[in-house]
Amino acid sequence: MLILAGLGNPGPKYAGNRHNIGFMAADAIADRWSFGPERAKFQSIARDGEVKTDAGPVRVLLLKPQTYMNESGRAIGEAMRFFRLQPADVIVMHDEIDLAPGRLRMKTGGGAAGQNGIRSTISHIGADFRRMRLGIGHPGDKALVHGHVLSDFHKAELAWLRPMLDAIADSLPLMVAGEDEKFQAEVLRLAPAPKLDPRKTSGDS
């Protein structure tokens, strides 16, 4: 069993924010794989389902913590302990300003790099969980970061956002099977990141 947690802030006010791309990925996955209905559990909106891999089906609990971003780890930790899982059984999907828009990188362990949802998760379950880092780009000035992540995606950005979310859902069996590098490559093959003005992002690391 795996816990797949998308990070974001609850409520319609935040639904279209860049900070909520983790929620958006969770919804795309649930729809693509016909997960069960939403229910309130583990301080989250939770949905259960199975993902078919070459080695057989894997049960997945999909979470959208309703604790607000900065306390995401409380919900994830509660679910992990309930099912007696380990951090390695947890995958967290979150926005990443240090990746160009439309880029995706998988990572296991490490620090929070300023992402408060990841910082909270580390504080509750340790650092050794898997992360799906979803690039939203950097506004170019540290003072503008807060407004950037809490503003909605522009209409023009939907041209890369929607294909990226579809590619994540379609390629999910690779990630569920632990093939993170293959998953990452397949997503970027299906939904190549847009070519952008390099002055508008802080990098692609």
Give the active site residues.
Answer: 19
Tokens of 51: 């993902």
CA atoms within 13 A on the CB side of 142: 1
119 contact partners, CB below 8 Å, separation of at least 6: 73, 112
Contact 132, 93 (CB under 8 A): yes
Name the pairing type of β-strands 44-53 and 90-96: unpaired
The radius of gyration of the chain from alpha carbons, rounded to an integer in Å, stands at 16
